[in-house]
A = this chain, B = another copy of it.
Amino acid sequence: MKLFFTLIILFTNITFFAQSDSNFIRKIYDEALSKGNSYEDLRSLCKDVGARLSGSAQAQMAVEWGEAKMKSYNFDKVYMQEIKVPRWERGTKEAAWVKTTKGEVSPIKILALGGSIGTNGILKGQLIEFSSLDELKKAKRKDVEGKIVFLSQAFNQNDINTFKAYGGCYPIRGDGAVEAAKLGAKAVVIRSLGSSLDDYPHTGSMHYDEAVEKIPAAAISTNDSELIGELLKKGELEFIFEMDCQTLADVTSYNVIGEITGTEKPDEIITFGGHLDSWDAGEGAHDDGAGIVHCLEALRLLKVLDYKPKHTLRVVFFMNEENGNKGGQTYASFVKEKGEKHIAALESDRGGFAPKGFSCDGDLEKFKNLFNFDKLFNPYELYEFQKGYGGVDIGPLKKQFEGITLFGFVPDSQRYFDFHHAESDVFEAVNKRELELGCAAISSFIYLIDKNL
């Protein structure tokens, strides 16, 4: 009989808490959708600051924007964390053409890949096409030497999630210059890592190997890639281009951090954030302005709803995700040095689209037992709570904290690579409701972790 009553009481408690959780999540959503600041904050970051590549004046203004914004929301602590970041500049000259053996020329829109050296004046060479990095690796030096390598690998449209297609093409951007140079190529040009056929080149990080000659690397649009592919079927093509991009000395920059102090376990920290830097094309709206305002708003929502967290909730605007990850690395080192205890971390860096759920790099079952994801989130049309990647910025925490669970916010992926690293990634490409739903989902998820862990 005692057991019976205990069960009754237990059941009542569970029901009570579940009811309380669903009520509070409803409040978070109402606040985000009716009185949210995220859309205006994103407009301001995109339009008042703009594109903000690490080391640029705009990146510094983004740091000041972030600090001022966090202070305006009266978080318990707002501070900056000094880091050193690389500084690469696109320069002022970017122009390219292809020329047939008959002398017909077509202009080609290019974007230097981030980190590329310039061409030192006009650079010309015969194009040689490879459909993947593996195909290039198999080529003979005599066929490639003195030429310009064109890596034409397209997204696999059959991949349902576009991040998988992106991963499949990533090697042509990351390793194309090194592999082409090993075979004596003068330069490398890649098909942009984008889903759609359009006229926007997409930039992004690439690397050099100190043991291999550095050659210029650029992206061209998917439409221009198709054009060049067609022209190459008819005969030889010369690629003619100029870029004056360059790498300068490292500069000082900052991660920007805001906190609400925990009431029960202030020394245990839940970190969530996105990255403040962006590529220099577009306005970094989806990548990762959306992640910045997602997490800023997630904390603001909990604050205005007067939630008193058990643990310290910390939002971090990481600097330099795009070309170095110095922000994420430095953050992990700092917290290790200070002996801070991190119990979970979440990143939003997949765009401002309609939320689908969360991916978990860590003990998924533990968190599935902490709260009923389906019951609490299905009413908000979130269905995915699965194993998966956390994020670039929070990744280094894994080395510092054994057993830490990292989460990635998962919005719909279908349109992300239409905008990623391209001139088209502007504020207008973000839908207000989709953005706000992301803020509410993240805020609710952080609330559930804090409350139940």
Contacts and interface: CB of A to CB of B under 8 A. Distances in A.
Interface of A: 29-30, 33-34, 157-158, 160-162, 195-196, 354, 356, 379-381, 383-384, 412, 414-415, 418, 431-434, 437
B158 A29 contact: yes
A339 to B, nearest CB: 41
Contact of A414 (B34, B160, B437): B437
Contacts of A415: 431, 433-434
Contact of A34 (B158, B354, B412, B437): B158
Most chain B CB neighbours (cut-off 10 Å) among A34, A195, A354, A379: A354
How many identical chains are in the complex? 2
Given A30-B158, A34-B158, A432 B383 contact: no
Contact of A157 (B33, B196, B431): B33
A226 to B, nearest CB: 14
A424 to B, nearest CB: 12
A412 to B, nearest CB: 5
A33 B161 CA distance: 12
B414 A157 contact: no
A379 B162 CA distance: 13
A161 B414 contact: no
A431 B418 contact: yes
Given A161-B381, A196-B432, 13 more contacts: A29-B158, A33-B157, A33-B158, A34-B158, A160-B437, A196-B431, A354-B414, A381-B384, A381-B412, A412-B412, A414-B437, A415-B433, A418-B431
Contacts of A158: 29-30, 33-34
Nearest to A155: B433
A125 B414 CA distance: 48
A426 to B, nearest CB: 15
A415 B34 CA distance: 17
6 contacts: A33-B157, A34-B158, A161-B381, A196-B432, A414-B434, A415-B433
A196 B161 CA distance: 28
A359 to B, nearest CB: 13
Nearest to A412: B354
Contacts of A354: 354, 412, 414
Most chain B CB neighbours (cut-off 10 Å) among A33, A161, A381, A418: A381
Contacts of A30: 158
B412 A160 contact: no
